[in-house]
Homo-oligomer: A and B are copies of this chain.
Amino acid sequence: MSEHKSRFLIKQRALLKGYLITMAKQNKLYGLQYKEEIKKELDRYGYKPTHSEIYKSLHELMEDGTLKQIKRKKEGAKLQTVMIYLIEDKGKAELYMKQLKVELDRCYGLLGKAIADFYS
């Protein structure tokens, strides 16, 4: 997320990772549950994540050691095995969120500038 000369707006996956880390600190959810929770937050802004992006984001956060994955039996009649994601490295998680803030503030400022330039 760093050392880029010029970039437009934040990439979808970078923001998804912010939600995944934030939610993983509080709950023990599996893949599609993250998808549903994020959808609940952002649906009214016209955005709904795909399962593909959720899984890719989770996988990348595991590859760099931020999250870890454990198998769990899903509650209910089906007894299906699901993958629960938890924080593995709290320091990495917090560092990511700190860097994400810089990027989000930048994008928020850019859009605010455009809105001011166009409609004031």
Residues of A within 8 A of B (CB): 4-10, 12, 15, 18-19, 22, 41-42, 45-48, 97, 100-101, 104-115, 117-119
> Which residue on B lies nearest to A9, using beta carbons?
B9
Number of copies of this kind of chain in the complex = 2
Known A6-B48, A9-B9, A46-B6; contact A115-B104, beta-carbon cutoff 8 A: yes
Known A6-B47, A7-B47, A9-B9; contact A118-B106, beta-carbon cutoff 8 A: no
Known A12-B8, A42-B110, A47-B110; contact A100-B117, beta-carbon cutoff 8 A: no
Cβ–Cβ < 8 Å partners of A45 in chain B: 106-107, 109-110, 113
List 4 additional A-B contacts (Cβ < 8 Å) besides A6-B48, A22-B117, A107-B111. A10-B111, A18-B118, A42-B110, A101-B118
